[in-house]
Amino acid sequence: MTISLLDRKTTLSIFDRMLMMRYFEEAVLRLYNERRFASHFHLYIGQEATGAAVLEALGDKDLICTTHRNHGHLIGRGSDPGQTIAEILGRSTGLNRGRGGTLHASDPSRGFLSTSAIVGGCAGLAAGAAFGIKTKRETNVAVGFFGDGALEEGLVIESFNIAALWKLPVIFVCENNSAGAIGPQQGGYPTAITATDSFTRLPAAYGIDCVKIDGTDIVAVYEATTEATRRCRTGQGPAFIEAFTVRWPGSSPLWPEPATVTDLNEAWDPTRIKGPHAAWVRDHDPLLRTARDIVAHGYASQDEVMARDKDARTRIEAGATFAIESPMALSETVYEHVFA
């Protein structure tokens, strides 16, 4: 078990982002089960350590392009939970006034360009954002998040070539969430349908700096991202990070298993963990792991961790209430914004 080597402030900030991500997704799942919206959706549960630590390592002006599995990135970056849930519910108060929904929620005020639900689409946009940064001689970076499946798309490979040719300040973050799949996909690594036995060989072929890391380890993710941003900010980009992470069972609709409801007390009392995936929860849930590390490292007491837990739950619930009480997207706005 890793003991956190990051400083206290950074560690707790990452942990707070993870808490918000987790309870946001549990709220989304509950709202779906309450039939408050009907849509495909893609939860970030199980991958929080990757997103939270990447986001922690970024600056305010950095730009982000993400995928259909975008909720965690938005919430982890500080997007308002109420406006984000409202977008998922199609409300007028949503981040995009109900035009994007779960698949396209974006928050320009926090550096998010479009969320692309076309697999791999974010790679081109992120390269473009990096092109803009380089052209303006700025020192911020662009980050493209995508899953392992995106490596099967030609656009992504083309984007690697272009980013490498022009030394664009872009960090490609591949959240390989097939690797530790449990449930029906267990043992199927890699579940991606590809002839390569290592994804990093693809960007590496273009000379892109690549690392493979444990995506449930906030230290590894934070350090890899910090190094990648340093390279990009000094004109040595692009960079590719493959973070091995795990998707929680219950990611509807293709993986219809019941999601476990988080109880952070399980971090220090594993006997409370029940259910078909108890072993995974005990050993791999990044939230429990990070909570344990924080206490073990003396960064906070169990009570202090639980106070943060409560605070995150409260903020998410306030957001859910705000969203539910908001009016649906207004019918008179349907034709607005087709053109600028």
Judged by the rule CB under 8 A, the positions of this chain that interact with other proteins are 63, 65, 96-97, 99-100, 104, 106, 108, 113-114, 116, 118, 121, 123-133, 135-136, 142, 154-155, 157-159, 161-162, 165, 336-340
Least Cβ distance, residue 97 to other proteins (angstroms): 4
Least Cβ distance, residue 104 to other proteins (angstroms): 5
Q: Which tokens go with 64?
A: 């982000």
Residue 211, strand partner residues:
241
Nearer to other proteins, 100 or 180 (CB): 100
Is the CB of residue 131 less than 8 Å from the CB of residue 159? Answer: no
Least Cβ distance, residue 135 to other proteins (angstroms): 6
Q: Where are the alpha helices (DSSP H) in the chain?
A: 8-33, 48-57, 71-76, 81-88, 101-104, 121-135, 154-165, 201-204, 218-233, 278-284, 286-296, 302-325
Q: Which tokens go with 156?
A: 């992504």
Least Cβ distance, residue 39 to other proteins (angstroms): 14
Q: What is the Cα–Cα distance from 181 to 46, expressed in whole angstroms?
A: 10
Nearer to other proteins, 124 or 249 (CB): 124
Give the HSE-up count for residue 68: Cα atoms under 13 Å, Cβ half-sphere: 14
Nearer to other proteins, 158 or 223 (CB): 158
Packing angle of the helix pair 8-33, 218-233 (nearest 10 deg): 110
Nearer to other proteins, 76 or 94 (CB): 94
Least Cβ distance, residue 27 to other proteins (angstroms): 23
- Buried b / exposed e over 132-141, threshold 16 CB at 10 Å, is ebbeeeebbb
Nearer to other proteins, 184 or 327 (CB): 327
Nearer to other proteins, 159 or 176 (CB): 159
Q: What is the Cα–Cα distance from 258 to 240, expressed in whole angstroms?
A: 33
Nearer to other proteins, 76 or 121 (CB): 121
- Alpha carbon distances (Å) from 36 to 39, 85, 182, 201: 10, 11, 28, 43
Least Cβ distance, residue 103 to other proteins (angstroms): 9
Least Cβ distance, residue 107 to other proteins (angstroms): 9
